[in-house]
Amino acid sequence: MSKVFDLFIIGGGINGAGIARDAAGRGLSVCLADKGEIGGATSSWSTKLIHGGLRYLENYEFKLVRESLKEREIVYKIAKSISKPVPFIIPYVDKIRPAWLIKIGLFLYDNLGGKSKIPKSKTIDLKKNFPNILKEEYKTGFRYFDIQIDDKKLTKLNIKDAKKNKAKILEYNKVKKAKIIDNQWIITLQDGKKIKSKILINASGPWINETLHKNIKITSKKKIRLVKGSHIITKKLYKADVAFTFQNTDKRIIFVIPYKRKFSLIGTTEIEVKSPENQGISKKEIGYLIKSVNNYLNNEISKKDIVDTYSGVRPLIEDFNTASKVTRDYVFDLKIINKLPLLNIYGGKLTTYRKLSEKVLFDLKKFLPKTKKGPWTDKKKLF
């Protein structure tokens, strides 16, 4: 008789990969399938930051920022070979956000996550510290730090570790069908193989509801909003090894981040889309990003400076706010079907994948009574 896995995970983005690593390391038998390359979807199209999300404080998302800041510390510690702290400078613009508001925000950002090895924020003289980069009117700024990471590698390293602990990983093999037969999940893959499992986890990112409705044939009341975010890449725009956080008059922010030594990564936009499939950057988004940069940088850029672009689609939990205000937090939807669990994972951030994975195993504890090991991923390095 063929093996019955403890967990079957649909989707090898950062969330599926993190769950696979954590579960396999606890001695559980895990099988994960992705319809494409591991880490090849939203998890390689991000801004590549492990961050608390300074701007979410404005939406009073203290719980999310706190968890993210704590995770920033842990992920940096366990994934040092693919991450580094980067200073971010916010030029002060009194008409957009008053100095006192930014200072309160940065004070919270420095302290909400508890003890940190990452330097605290401070007010800086832009003319003295970064002469000639910014336009004349920007004289004062605020400096804080976040972590830049290789998002795709982070996903792949999680999978590598899961494999070391005997997880079965299948790439380019879409889950076509999942249904319960004889008290177990039977998952049918694109190549015709059938896999048996006690638990089914749907971590298919922006495809979550499509997978649920079309492949598992279960309806969910949880609504998601698909939001496309795009980036442009140019040759390095200035020599200093700092990133800038530019505030726009629509209250959104744009990052300009040093990227792969010779380039600058600029993003992101937020456009609601209907399909989870990646449609790439639009002319309007390119225009928006160029304009944002040119409001601040001395050396203005144009379309011909763009060397590459990429876009990603995020699945955000619908809370009926505007796109930039919709929460980046995650929500689990645990369904028990004929006594067998199906866990759907909605939303999330790259930053919180490890904690999310830990919580998944906590929530599934009663279905996995023989698991001997508890949480462990905060200590063991990824390499």
Ligand X SMILES: Cc1cc2nc3c(=O)[nH]c(=O)nc-3n(C[C@H](O)[C@H](O)[C@H](O)COP(=O)(O)OP(=O)(O)OC[C@H]3O[C@@H](n4cnc5c(N)ncnc54)[C@H](O)[C@@H]3O)c2cc1C
Contacts with ligand X, residue ranges (CB under 6 A): 10-16, 33-36, 40-43, 45-49, 51, 174-175, 203-207, 211, 215, 229, 268, 312-314, 348-351
**Minimum distance from residue 277 beta carbon to ligand X (Å):** 11
Task: Return the number of the residue (41 or 134) whose C-beta is nearest ligand X.
Answer: 41
Distance in Å, CB of 98 to ligand X, minimum: 26
* 39/150 Cα distance (integer angstroms): 11
Residue 353 CB, shortest distance to ligand X, in Å, is 7
CA distance 240 to 297: 13
Residue 140 buriedness (CB in 10 A; 0-12 / 13-18 / 19+): middle
Nearer Cβ to ligand X, position 134 or 234?
234
Write the DSSP symbol of residue 363.
H
Q: How far is the CB of 381 from ligand X (least distance, A)?
A: 20
Residue placing its CB nearer to ligand X in the complex, 226 or 301: 226
Q: Closer to ligand X by CB, 6 or 71: give it.
A: 71
**DSSP-derived secondary structure for 253-312:** EEEEEEETTTEEEEE---EEES-SS-----HHHHHHHHHHHHTTBSS---GGGEEEEEEE
Q: Are 143 and 40 in contact (CB under 8 A)?
A: no
- How far apart are CB 40 and ligand X at their closest, in Å? 6
Of residues 134 and 313, the one with the C-beta less far from ligand X: 313
Cβ closest to ligand X, residue 36 vs residue 87 = 36
State in angstroms the smallest separation of the CB of 57 from ligand X. Answer: 15
Query: Which segments within the chain are labelled E, that is strand?
Result: 4-10, 30-33, 49-50, 83-91, 122-125, 140-149, 168-170, 175-181, 184-189, 194-202, 224-235, 243-247, 253-259, 263-267, 271-273, 306-317, 330-337, 340-347
Query: In the complex, which residue's CB is closest to ligand X?
Result: 13
